[in-house]
Amino acid sequence: MVSIIIVSWNAKAYLLKCLDSLAYLKNAEIIVVDNASADGSPEAVAADYPQVHLIRNPVNAGFSRGNNLGIKASRGDYVAFVNSDVVVMPGCIKTLVDYLEKHPEVGMAGPKLIGKDGLLQPSCRSFPTLWTEFCRAVALDRLTPARWTHRAAEPVDVLQGSFMLVRRAALEKVGDWDERFFVYGEDLDFCKRFWKAGWRVAFVPRAVAYHYGGASSANAPVRFYIEKQRADLQYWQKHASPLAVRGYFLLAVLHEALRTLGYALPALLKESARYKVKRSVACLRWLLGGDAHPKKVEAQEMINENAT
């Protein structure tokens, strides 16, 4: 049996589409972990999907904590972690399970993801290094060819956390999601730990799902931009040497400083550029010890939204 865990926060429309796409599954256990949504998500799930095991968190406990609550409630030999903004195509789950059955050395598999624009969404990536972070900071990463073609089933370093299927035996050895990662970075850490424990991570393009993206982060974009930076820094602190962490920190500051300068002139004419300047400045303030804590940023965004 497969247990499917969906962690959701204020993403009602996406969540219901996700559950509709799983309706054809007869022998799957579906668990929705709601992180204190205020948009009617848990009420809609309880009313329209009585077969779904609904777990209501009184507070937003984060993605990792939500997944761990789902794991504790699950019973399947395979566990799928699916974002609320994913639509699962027929046969996707079975294809991933079949792949793991045929490849006992693989502990985690992920499908090909199609974005809302109908185009292939890159879902495989390499573990970060100081060189790759430097290239990203100075925008050279766009000139280097991607390592993963997304065309063949093959082992990869990291799978995007929006859709992962893992075997229970591997999960028991690797352990739960690291709850220090509130949102973002947890997929990078999870895949790193699978490889360290001797389990391969694989991309399986014959399995297909649609990923709309940003269902929860759209509620507070600047806050989540900082949360992404916070998570990346946490990953380096956990898996790299102190010297490498220092190097990464300096590259992160360089990245945001260059984007602030680069979008400053376009910001005079375009709202989208003004937003990018705003989020990079907020991230720089956080990196350099200012008062732009993600929670404060979220509160300010809500004030600004209510004022308009």
Tokens representing residue 185 in the block: 């970075």
Residue 204, SS3 per DSSP: strand
Beta bridge partners of 204: 111
User: How high is the pLDDT of residue 142?
Assistant: 76
Strands, E, within the chain: which ranges? 2-8, 28-35, 53-57, 78-82, 86-88, 106-114, 120-121, 124-125, 154-155, 158-159, 163-167, 200-211
Tokens representing residue 136 in the block: 């990203």
Q: Whole-structure pTM over 0.75, yes or no?
A: yes
Nearest one of 71, 63, 90 to 215, comparing CA atoms: 63
For residue 290, what pLDDT band results from cuts at 50, 70 and 90?
A: low
More reliable by pLDDT, 196 or 292: 196
> What would the pLDDT profile of 18-57 be if each residue is shown by its tens digit?
999 999 898 899 999 999 999 999 999 999 999 999 999 9
Crossing angle of helices 221-239/242-264, nearest 10°?
150
> What would the pLDDT profile of 88-106 be if each residue is shown by its tens digit?
999 999 999 999 999 999 9
Crossing angle of helices 130-137/242-264, nearest 10°?
10
Q: What is the mean pLDDT of the chain?
A: 89
CATH number of 2-211: 3.90.550.10
Parse the chain into domains and list their residue ranges. Answer: 2-211, 220-307
> What would the pLDDT profile of 186-213 be if each residue is shown by its tens digit?
999 999 999 999 999 999 999 999 999 7
**In the predicted model, what is the mean pLDDT of residues 239-265?**
93
User: How high is the pLDDT of residue 67?
Assistant: 96
Residue found by looking up tokens 């948009």 in the block: 39
User: Quick check: 34 and 12 in contact, CB under 8 A?
Assistant: no
The CA distance from 88 to 208, in Å, is 7
